[in-house]
Amino acid sequence: MQGVDKLEKARERVIDAIAQNMNLYGVTPSVGRLWGLMYFHDEPMTLDDMKQELGMSKTSMSTSVRNLVELKMVDKVWKKGIRKDLYEVEDDWHQTFIDLFTIKWRNGISINMNAIHKSLSELKELLGDEQISDEIKAEAKSDIEKLNKALDYYLWIDRLVDSFESHEIFTFIPKK
């Protein structure tokens, strides 16, 4: 069929770019290729469809799809008369970005804020301990100031994430 090669080449170029860039978001290139393939596919796909298109094992396909579902980049869908699980991409790139980043950011915020709160608690205990030298107490006070600044940063990031999830960000940076 005339034009099929050009069509496939154009799609493959975008799929390759997506796969290369997915590691920026903590996603493997093979998962990125799968998402790119599904993006250009007009109908929901089964694991068997994906396996046939990409030549990966069904186990690998299943793991990749599960990863994409967890990142909210792919949805499991139902279609009358089809017993196998079907999957399709979330084709709103803005929402995909929001879901992907907010999942990652919320995790990072949580990890860092928990560490900061625990360390602040321990450092404050040091300040109250009369057996601790003034030099150590001075360093603890300095660390407390630094950690409070870091805490302010993570609270700001948390508000930024909120603005993405509420779509308030689009008030400041419109989609178009």
Nearest to 72 by CA among 39, 33, 98: 98
Cα 9 from Cα 51, distance rounded (Å): 20
Q: What does the pLDDT look like over 86-108, one tens digit per residue?
A: 999 988 989 988 998 898 899 99
Could you tell me the pLDDT band of residue 159, with boundaries at 50, 70 and 90? very high
What pLDDT sits at residue 90? Answer: 85
What pLDDT sits at residue 57? Answer: 87
What pLDDT sits at residue 166? Answer: 97
Q: Where are the domains of the chain?
A: 4-89, 93-172
What pLDDT sits at residue 102? Answer: 92
CATH architecture, domain 4-89: Orthogonal Bundle (1.10)
What pLDDT sits at residue 26? Answer: 81
Average pLDDT over residues 34-57: 92
Quickly list H helices, the chain.
Answer: 4-21, 29-40, 47-54, 58-70, 93-128, 134-165, 169-172
